[in-house]
Amino acid sequence: MPKISSDTLWDVAAAEVRKRENRADAEEDCEEHGHLLTDRTVFFMGSKAGGKTTILLRFLDRDEAPKPTLALEYTFGRRARGHNTPKDVAHLWELGGGISLSDLVQIPITADNLSTLSVVLVLDLSKPNAMWETMERLLGSARNHVDKVCSLPQKTGESISSKQQRQNRVPRVLHKDYPDRELISPFPVPLLIIGSKFDIFQELESEKRKVICKTLRFVAHFYGASLIFTNSKSEGTMSKARSFINQLAFGTEKPKSISTDPSKPLIIPAGLDSLSQIGPPVTSDIDIGALHAKNPFDLWKKVFERVFPPKNVEEYTELKDPVKDPQYSEPLIDSMRAQKDQELEQYKRQQAKSWKSLELDP
């Protein structure tokens, strides 16, 4: 497998400037030799502490311990297809905080990258009670912003290439032979759903594992997405996940292996599943008629939440103050900040005394 380099941000910025200055010549040369430059964006989001950073580091082949993601972080990967050919660039964004920072989806999703954007949703299989809300909130926010970007009016004074990019920002359309094409609602950009922590998931009861597997198969098929389960301790599952991400980031060949056995990690590329193969929801102890579902998607949601009631725990209060995070320590800046904090507290005390001693006329 071609190795992905990990140059500094300044290196990739300089390369991007050079590429834009010589875009016409570079593209002409690539076409003559059968190569096309690619510049794609992959947006990672999902469960809080669900393993997104671990998956991303393994994809980049970086041997380092994962750190908690603060809000929204950016990195990139580069891949050479051969000798003396331009390197493909993948812009990689990771959203931290679970659903608490879903508003930040507007940063990595733009009119300029929409035609080459894909989304990776990581769901923590060890916390099924939070799974549906995480999936629904994050994908809902992303879809809404994609729709908003698609509806933006074209700017005046744009270059021809920019106009072409904006004209191409249409929602994703599945091919006519896609299974159940008329019964599903494909996500507007390519989507990969990763179920993480499969090793912990295996400790659940057999019936609960079956509910989770069938539900995620339905959700993935409904959105026209690929689905794979991973275990960070298993090189096999991580390698397969890397293949799926490679396809999104660099346009490599789409993985074709498939596994639907709920006792093993699921591997289902988009388009290789169907509603008939998935079957109906697992409803052994549930009266479907009493659920009052509006549509099939709502039915699967209600059945899933009967088995795994959502937890009413807000994640907003759990956000960590980045100023106090040791991984972002800057001694000179921190000492100045501490001094300013002391001056602010002193000013507050002085003002409080002033107000207390102030005599107002009746």
Nearest-angstrom CA–CA distance, 346 and 289 = 65
Average pLDDT over residues 2-25: 58
Exposed e or buried b per residue across 285-295, where buried means at least 16 C-beta atoms within 10 angstroms of its C-beta:
eeeeeebeeee
Q: What are the pLDDT digits (tens) for 75-99?
A: 999 988 777 677 889 999 999 989 9
Amino acid found at 241: A
Domain spans of the chain? Answer: 4-307, 321-351
- In the numeric block, the tokens 């549906």 are attached to 132
How far apart CA 280 and CA 296 sit, in angstroms, is: 10
Q: Cα separations (Å) of 177 from 128, 181, 251, 253? A: 33, 7, 21, 19
Whether the CB-CB separation of 323 and 337 falls below 8 Å is answered with yes
Residues 234 and 287 sit within 8 Å (Cβ to Cβ): no
pLDDT in tens, 227-255: 999 999 999 999 999 999 999 999 999 89
Residues 233 and 280 sit within 8 Å (Cβ to Cβ): no
Range of lowest pLDDT (14-23, 33-42, 181-190, 192-201): 14-23
The angle, 0 to 180 degrees and rounded to 10, between the axes of the packed helices 23-32 and 9-21 is: 80
What is the SS3 string spanning 52-109? HHHHHHHHCCCCCCCCCCCCEEEEEEEEECCCCCCEEEEEEEEECCHHHHHHHHHCCC
The structure's pTM equals 0.75
Amino acid occupying residue 293: A
Provide the CATH number for the domain formed by 4-307 in this structure.
3.40.50.300
pLDDT digits (tens, 9 = 90+) for 28-71: 444 444 445 578 999 999 999 999 999 999 999 998 888 888 88
- Strand, coil or helix: 113: coil
Q: How many CB atoms lie within 10 A of CB 207?
A: 11
